[in-house]
Structure 1
Amino acid sequence: MTLDLEALYTDLHRHPELSFQETRTAGVIAAKLTELGIEFEEGIGRTGIAAIIRNGEGPVVWLRADTDGLPVHELTGLPYASLARGIDPAGADVPVMHACGHDMHITAMLGALEQLVSTKDEWSGTIVTVFQPAEEYGAGAQAMIADGVLDRYPKPDVVLGQHVTPLPAGTIGVRSGTQMAASDGLRVVLYGRGGHGSRPHSTVDPVVMAAATIMRLQTIASREVDPRDVAVVTVGSIHAGLKNNIIPAEAVLELSLRYPDDVARDKVMQKVERIITAEAAASGAETAPDITIDHTLPPTINDVDATVRLRAAFERSFGEGTVVDPGMFTGSEDVSWFARESGAPLVYWFWGGVDPEKYAAAESAGTIEKDIPTNHSPYFAPVMQPTLSNGVANIVVAAREFLA
């Protein structure tokens, strides 16, 4: 039986689900694995799936695809655009979109598994595939590991994964060493003293405190980090107050911090904590702020030897010049936990999802940042083909390079 990958992709794109809520998505994946005759187990790390193909003696190759969507209102105008909604961890009803391409990751992985099953006479070894939930929370890989996925399945000799990104379709981006940054997600509660909006002098206004804190945090990357180094401090969320004539008692900020290594992490974290504490004191706060770390992700580091080997395999299969060094991405991933916890080498690469002519036109006009939507944008929509067929081919080539 041949999977209709375009129909599958369309269905997944229409029905995204938030992190650790991917029950329908897991059901779709399970149904396709059943059609392919692949042994699998559901409910690992809450909504994750692990599948295994045993094909004689040989290396153990782990493949990973992530499955969750994002709280984004889709504006692509596609006929299969998402109208889905979900309940976020705070209990709010939010729109949901596959704004990071995980629907493409799932579909390409299932298409690759179909090809690998149909060509078992050409390779030997074991393939373990994890369909991982909650990548967007940075928690899904660790949830699957905590649930014993590394204990119940053969340990990997290599861990492989890929991510669709706004490169021209037909391009693969991969580099040895640090491919993606480390990150922390912080939740900050600033405590003021609430009161009537007409009597600000009788209050400690946490909204003003938050505004001053946000602006001062911007100076970390611009004034406190060597311009030759990488650091990102983003305040992605601010919540305070319920009515225009009430000064609230507190404000909540959510921060995303990015850095290439632990040394940079320590420096940036110290600066963030210093500024938040100092701005609260400068505002007259009677209670020190609360700073909690929601999640920590290590840098995604590609093994040098395995990356060189895979890059050569890609160029043999798809032509010289297909593979580029995209530089270090300041985005972060939790795929590396599978490699770190098992001691296996990792290779994680990007593949292009933008119409090459559209990309070339934007590049020529100097408007890539404006005209080519990035991951997490409400306009992010990989061109279905050849992105999908390329994604399938990438995984097949990569898996077979490391199998016997």
Structure 2
Amino acid sequence: MKKFKVCLSTGFAIMLASYQSHASTLKLSVSDNLSKLEQLYLQLHQAPELSLHEEKTGKILAKELSQLGFKVSTNVGGFGVVGIYKNGNGPTVMIRTDTDGLPITEQTGKPYASKVTTLDQHNNKVGVMHGCGHDIHMTSFIGTAEQLVKAKESWQGTLMMVAQPAEEVGAGAKAMLKEGLYSQFAKPDHVLGLHVSASVEAGKVAIAPGYALANVDSVDILVKGKGGHGAYPHKTIDPVVIAARLVLALQTINSREVSPLKPSVITVGSIHGGSKHNIISNEVKLQLTLRSYDRAVRNQQISAIKRISKGIALSTGLPEDLYPKVHVHEEESIPSTFNDPKLAVNVQQFIEQELGSEKVEKSDPVMAGEDFGLYGRTDENIPITIFWLGGVNPEQHKRSKKTGESLPSLHSSKFAPDYPLAIETGVRAMTASALGLFNQTKT
């Protein structure tokens, strides 16, 4: 037994030394491979595909993983890809990227700008762009896989690479999990992800232990009335007026019903009704987005919207069959992303060791949403952490802070990240995180 312990200790010491040696040369290794990764980025950037249509993108990623020696499965949960690399006994670390583009016509003026157009679900011609940084995510994903395979002597365990489709419509993670991501392929001990930031300087990362991103719900309200001539409003029940009252009343949910200590956003993003100046229509359509962190707040928002809609209709004298119809798009609903505090602290430390503590910032939670949070909400209760990867050119970032000039946001037609620096940082940060997790259980 004593001899066995000595051998085990010696073996671990050798592996740890190998890990430390690789960590010290990771920057150089990534730099040597950066030209190839930049070409992959440009390929992905110039060929974006909308959510649920990522067939060619999935094939590109599957080919890259196959060439690295992964056992690859395609068409998982749509056009999702799962790559498994077994490297002895140890923990399973899952790294996830999203793959879909957005219906945006790119206006960055870059020579590599996307010129792709397609027909959307309503048969309208739209431009397609990676306006949320998924091209950076995928490139960093492949770069990380390359570095970890290259460093396989310095870690043991199973590396699980998951390329997830349909993030922008909240469908991809649900579909992959429903198809048995954890049961059919591997059950991870840790799940990692990154997301480009349009406010953090390239070369840096930011991380938020605890809540990082919000619950997201889409809600439609069909407001009905009794239409007629605009000259005789007293003979109608005007749905435009009802809708106007409703838009204002909904804001009292946040200001007077939800605790001020609980984040809550209710935004009416679209209002449509009527056809002509002098016609009072029969209906008006509202589209809302709801944001929160706490599930109870989310449920409170929806309950209050239904109650207030009914109450305003009742006050106008509408019959019950004409009360507003409130429809919650449950199929698009995604939960908040909660970064496991212990995992987030560990990841932060691993990244600081690689990049330097001055390159790692603490991030505040944001009200944007990400279906990454679903990976931590299964029965397996697996710890997850996603961190922000800086995408803003350092000089542009410095100028913005000095002058107050606004920066193009995610989902903007003018969003153009500093991709060489962002990719290099993303690969180094994610590789260091995975190496740390593979080896920490043995210390």
The two structures have a TM-score, normalised by structure 2, of 0.83
Q: 2:371 aligns with which of 334, 341, 353?
A: 334
1:109 aligns with 2:144: no
Q: Residue in 2 aligned with 1:256?
A: 289
Secondary structure of the corresponding residue to residue 234 of structure 1: strand
Residues 158 and 339, structure 1, Cα contact 8 Å, conserved in 2:
no
Q: How many residues align?
A: 401
For 1:92 and 1:243, locate their aligned partners in 2 and report how far apart those are by CA, in whole Å.
25
Shift of 1:247: 5.0
CA deviation vs aligned residue, 1:291-330 (integer Å, no higher than 9, x gap): 2221322221111211111111111111122221111111
More displaced, 52-61 or 299-308?
299-308
Distance 1:201 1:16, change over 3 A: farther
CA deviation vs aligned residue, 1:4-59 (integer Å, no higher than 9, x gap): 22222122222222221212221222232233332211111112111111111110
- Structure 2 runs not aligned, ≥5 long: 1-31
Distance 1:339 1:192, change over 3 A: same
Shift of 1:95: 3.0
Distance 1:175 1:278, change over 3 A: same
Q: 2:304 aligns with which of 257, 261, 271?
A: 271
Q: 1:238 aligns with which of 246, 252, 271?
A: 271
Residues 258 and 297, structure 2, Cα contact 8 Å, conserved in 1:
no
Q: Residue in 2 aligned with 1:47?
A: 79
More displaced, 374-383 or 284-293?
284-293
Q: 1:298 aligns with which of 296, 310, 335?
A: 335
Shift of 1:271: 2.8
Q: Residue in 1 aligned with 2:424?
A: 389
Q: 1:171 aligns with which of 194, 201, 204?
A: 204
More displaced, 111-120 or 153-162?
111-120
Q: 2:382 aligns with which of 339, 344, 360?
A: 344
CA deviation vs aligned residue, 1:266-297 (integer Å, no higher than 9, x gap): 33223322333334445555412222221322
Matching residue's letter, 1:38: F
Distance 1:285 1:73, change over 3 A: farther
1:360 aligns with 2:395: no
Q: 1:32 aligns with which of 64, 78, 84?
A: 64
Q: Residue in 1 aligned with 2:189?
A: 157
Shift of 1:246: 5.8
Shift of 1:361: 2.1
Distance 1:350 1:193, change over 3 A: same
Q: How does 1:72-87 map to 2 (within 5 A)?
A: 72-87=104-119
Secondary structure of the corresponding residue to residue 331 of structure 1: coil
For 2:277 and 2:411, locate their aligned partners in 1 and report how far apart those are by CA, in whole Å.
31
1:122 aligns with 2:122: no
Secondary structure of the corresponding residue to residue 297 of structure 1: coil
1:7 aligns with 2:9: no
Structure with larger Rg: 2
For 1:307 and 1:381, locate their aligned partners in 2 and report how far apart those are by CA, in whole Å.
28
Residues 254 and 266, structure 2, Cα contact 8 Å, conserved in 1:
yes
Distance 1:194 1:156, change over 3 A: same
More displaced, 379-388 or 51-60?
379-388
Distance 1:92 1:246, change over 3 A: farther
For 1:320 and 1:164, locate their aligned partners in 2 and report how far apart those are by CA, in whole Å.
19
- Structure 1 runs not aligned, ≥5 long: none
1:321 aligns with 2:354: no
Root-mean-square deviation over aligned CA pairs: 2.5
1:378 aligns with 2:413: yes
1:289 aligns with 2:324: yes
Secondary structure of the corresponding residue to residue 374 of structure 1: coil
For 1:85 and 1:203, locate their aligned partners in 2 and report how far apart those are by CA, in whole Å.
45
Secondary structure of the corresponding residue to residue 4 of structure 1: helix
Residues 204 and 425, structure 2, Cα contact 8 Å, conserved in 1:
no
Higher helix share: 2
Distance 1:241 1:33, change over 3 A: farther
Q: Residue in 2 aligned with 1:62?
A: 94
Matching residue's letter, 1:177: G
More displaced, 303-312 or 2-11?
2-11
More displaced, 155-164 or 340-349?
340-349
For 1:82 and 1:247, locate their aligned partners in 2 and report how far apart those are by CA, in whole Å.
44
Q: Residue in 1 aligned with 2:24?
A: none
Distance 1:244 1:302, change over 3 A: same
Q: 2:223 aligns with which of 190, 214, 234?
A: 190
More displaced, 2-11 or 115-124?
2-11
Shift of 1:63: 0.7
Residues 195 and 202, structure 1, Cα contact 8 Å, conserved in 2:
yes
Shift of 1:90: 4.4
For 1:371 and 1:146, locate their aligned partners in 2 and report how far apart those are by CA, in whole Å.
41
Shift of 1:200: 5.6
